[in-house]
Amino acid sequence: MMIKFGLAGLIVFNCLTAFSYTIITKDNGGWFGFRTVTESHSGPNHQLACADPGRMKCEFGTAFGGITQGGEVINLQSFEPIENMILDLLAIENSILAGEFYFESDFFIKYSYDLNADRLTIEIYTLHEASCLGFI
Amino acid sequence: MKKGILLLTIVLLNAIHLNAEIIITKSNRGLFGYKHIVEQQAEGQHRLDCSDPGRMRCKSSLGTIVVSSENGDLQPFELTETQFDAIDLYVENQLLSLNESGNFVYDNLCFVKFYYDPTSDFLEIRIYSIQEAQLLNLI
């Protein structure tokens, strides 16, 4: 009994300490890109918020090394295929504007698009994070 | 007084000049197109105004666009859907290449001017018949 509680406690603790996320939002972009690109990193958590028409690309800066899955790093270029997959899904006429999928068996992706506001949100989780958060 | 006469002359010349042009505006586009598409036809001008995020393509519902000048002194200007799409694609590629304004002659058929304001996400495309572009000294 004690062992079971200990194990459960370890799992909960592990989830609490390992909890992290990467969230990208693209809000009302223009043909050339975005006016504001805000990047924030807090420990294992990464956020990229791009908004309004402008000339900047919506991407992480070079300081961002990527997020890890079992020691593997998903690099900056890897976001493009994720985004392209999402755009392909959303481009389907009358498609549901939110969904989730596995990316390369290593990551769990959640996305949503607000059509009126032209706001795309992409959440990228390692499988461990997704499991801890109850997504999978 | 002279300035007033000059201004009046310019105004009158503009009133007499008979357009044959197509104007397309695109503003606040979404990832998948537009919510509002307003198409207006008048003698001498055809307008297509597309705005706000939605799922519609910014194109004419008529297929082929025909513009006649007000008193028929210019040949009717006709643009098929395929030609419209080709011009639209060319302009979009120019924007993606970060060219925010420019002009070109398309297929010896028409003269195209475009301008994009990145701050307001506003694109204007003006398409003139070759005959009108020559009259306006654009080419």
Q: Give per-residue pLDDT as tens, B53-80.
A: 999 999 999 888 888 776 666 677 889 9
List CB contacts (< 8 A) between B30 and chain A.
Answer: 115, 118
pTM of the model: 0.78
Residue of chain B whose alpha carbon sits nearest to that of A33: B118
Chain segment A94-105, per-residue pLDDT in tens? 778 999 999 888
The ipTM of this complex is 0.73
If you average pLDDT over every residue of chain A, what do you get? Answer: 80
User: Across chain B, what does the average pLDDT equal?
Assistant: 85
* Chain A contact set for B101 (CB, 8 A): none
pLDDT tens for B21-58 read 899 999 999 999 999 999 998 878 899 999 999 999 99
Q: Which residues of chain B have a CB within 8 Å of the CB of A53?
A: 118-121
Check CB contact under 8 Å for B31 and A118.
yes
Q: Is the pLDDT of residue B11 over 80?
A: no
3-state secondary structure of A128: helix
CA atoms within 13 A on the CB side of B20: 25
Least reliable range by pLDDT among A57-61, B82-86, B126-130: A57-61
In the three-class reduction of DSSP (H, G, I as helix; E, B as strand; rest coil), residue B110 is classed as strand
Whether residue A128 contacts residue A136, with contact meaning beta carbons closer than 8 Å, is answered with no
Q: Tell me whether residues B53 and A53 touch, CB distance under 8 A.
A: no
Contacts of A117 in chain B (CB under 8 A): 53
Instruction: Decide if A55 and B118 are in contact by the 8 Å CB cutoff.
Output: yes
Find the CB nearest B30 among A32, A93, A118.
Answer: A118
